[in-house]
Amino acid sequence: MTMLVVGNWKLHGDWHSNAERLAALHGHGAVVPGVTLAVCVPMPYLQQAQQALQNGAVAWGAQDVSAHATGAYTGEVSAAMLKEFGARFAIVGHSERRQYHGESNETVAAKARAALAGGVVPIVCVGESLQQRQAQQTEAVVLAQLEPVLQALQQDAGRMVLAYEPIWAIGTGQTATAEQAQAVHAVLRARLQQDGASSVPVLYGGSVNPGNASALLAQPDIDGALVGGASLVAEDFLAIVQAAATPTGH
C-alpha cells in the first residue's frame, strides 16, 4: 500500500515562511516512491500552496471544511470552495476542533460527508484523552467517534482517510509507542473491514518526528502519519517522508 504522510500546519506560518517551506517540499516531493505527501495549510494560504505545488508530487488541503454546501453560515468554507483551489484533502474532526470548537461526533460525520460530496477526501481524526486511556476506554472512544462517520458515508466510507491521534500525544513530545498505536489501529482496521472499507489508510498522529517515524510506520496497520510540529520544518518533514518510503512492516 502507498504510504500517506500529511503535514498539519495548524495555526502557523506566514506568506514568506510558507513560500520557503513549500519550495523545499516541491523540490523533493517528486522523488519519494511509494509515498503520497500532502500539506494541510491555513485557509488563506490554499492558493499559495496551489501555486507553489501544482504540477508536482505534493498534494495540499485544508484543516477543516463546512458541513454545509452553501448558505448563511458566516465564516464557513465549503468543500467545493476548497476544490476550486485544488485541495485534495480536508482534515475533519481534529481533537483541537472537537475541544475548542465543540464539534460532536455527528458534526464530524456531517463534515466528512460534505467533504466527499464536494470532491475532497476527508482525513477523519479520532483519539482518546489521557484520562480515557487510563480508564481503559480507548477502544470504546475511538469506535464511538468512527461509528457516525461510517453511517454517514455508507458505501463511500472506503474513500476516506482515518487518523488515530491520541490527544495525550499531540504536541507533547510523548508519542504513543509503536505497539500502543498498532493496537488501536488494528481495532480501527477491524471495524473498517466490517464495512468493506479495510483499504482506508489509517494514519498515526501525535508527536511524530524523524526519530520515531520508522518504528511507527513499520507497524502493519499504520499506513502513514499526520504530522503537526515536525511538518513546519521542511527537513524534518522530509525525513519522516523518507522513513515512510522504507517501512519494514508493509
Which residues of this chain interact with ligand 13P, rule CB under 6 A?
8, 94, 165, 170-171, 205-208, 226-230
Cα–Cα distance between 49 and 58 in angstroms, integer?
Answer: 10
Q: Which residue is nearest to ligand 13P (CB)?
A: 228
By beta-carbon proximity to ligand 13P, the closer residue of 163 and 187 is: 163
Q: How far is the CB of 39 from ligand 13P (least distance, A)?
A: 12
Strands (E), 106-231: 121-126, 161-164, 202-205, 224-227
Q: How far is the CB of 226 from ligand 13P (least distance, A)?
A: 4
Q: Which residues are catalytic?
A: 94, 165
Tracing cell 486511556 back to the chain, one arrives at 133
By beta-carbon proximity to ligand 13P, the closer residue of 55 and 100 is: 100
C-alpha cell at 191: 471495524
By beta-carbon proximity to ligand 13P, the closer residue of 8 and 48 is: 8
Handedness of CA 146, 205, 187, 224 (dihedral sign): positive
By beta-carbon proximity to ligand 13P, the closer residue of 175 and 219 is: 175
Nearest Cα residue to 8 out of 58, 62, 55? 62
Tracing cell 448563511 back to the chain, one arrives at 72
C-alpha cell at 70: 452553501
Tell me if 164 sits within 8 A of 181, measured CB to CB: yes
Q: How far is the CB of 71 from ligand 13P (least distance, A)?
A: 28
In a 3-state reduction of DSSP, which class is residue 89? strand
